[in-house]
Amino acid sequence: MTAETDLHAEVARLAYREAMLLDRRRWDDWIDMFTEDAVYSAR
């Protein structure tokens, strides 16, 4: 695997985990995914 492929797989895992937590209404676990310096932007 290339570094780009590894990064793509990591981002996909993160997105799927985030969606799963939201679907299951596991709000605290979802919030725990973020660091203090995170910026969430909906565009």
CA–CA separation, 15 and 9 (whole Å): 10
Low-confidence ranges of the chain (pLDDT < 70): 1
- Looking at residue 16, what is its pLDDT? 97
- Looking at residue 40, what is its pLDDT? 76
Q: How many domains does the chain have?
A: 1
Cβ(17)–Cβ(33) under 8 Å? yes
| Domain with 40 in it | 1-43
- Looking at residue 1, what is its pLDDT? 67
- Looking at residue 41, what is its pLDDT? 82
- Looking at residue 38, what is its pLDDT? 84
Measured between alpha carbons, how far is residue 2 from residues 8, 13, 15, 17, 39 in Å? Answer: 10, 17, 20, 23, 28
- Looking at residue 19, what is its pLDDT? 97
CA–CA separation, 18 and 12 (whole Å): 10
The per-residue pLDDT of the chain, averaged, comes to: 92
